[in-house]
Amino acid sequence: MSGVIGDLDTRAHWEGVAEHKLLVQRCSDCGRYRWQPRALCYACQSWNFTWEEMSGRATVYTWTVAHRAMPTFAEDVPFLLVMVQLAEQDDLMMIGRLPGVDPETLRGGEAVTVEFVELHGVTVPSWRLAEAG
């Protein structure tokens, strides 16, 4: 069972992750999504927002392969980290793993979908290549 992490601004996101939902804030006044979670909207400074469940669809923007890591993750080395752009808005950028994919095959722009996995005791949003077609 995962521990829910996060602070007072982000707790709802992590509670969603624990339920395998990708929750992102949307401003109630201007409609802008924002990531990472904040108390106010960066576009219009409104304090009113809702949490929306994302489609989970994204595209690969960039990546790296970690050859060194903190002690907790040492056994995972080398591992592929991707930065993906959520489909809902062009500045929703998230970092996560893309397991089972050979980094040499990446070209950028690959369609991915979110998959919730447990990494060293913490449930996190992770990514997999989207089904073709």
CA distance 105 to 69: 23
Alpha-carbon Rg for the chain, nearest whole angstrom, is 16
| 18 near other proteins, rule: CB under 8 A | no
Shortest separation between residue 111's beta carbon and other proteins, angstroms: 16
At 95, the amino acid letter reads I
Tokens (6 digits) for 75? 């056994």
Nearer to other proteins, 120 or 131 (CB): 120
Shortest separation between residue 132's beta carbon and other proteins, angstroms: 22
* CB-CB contact of 37 with 5 (8 Å): no
* Binds other proteins (CB under 8 A): choice among 43, 44, 45, 50: 43
Nearer to other proteins, 90 or 131 (CB): 90
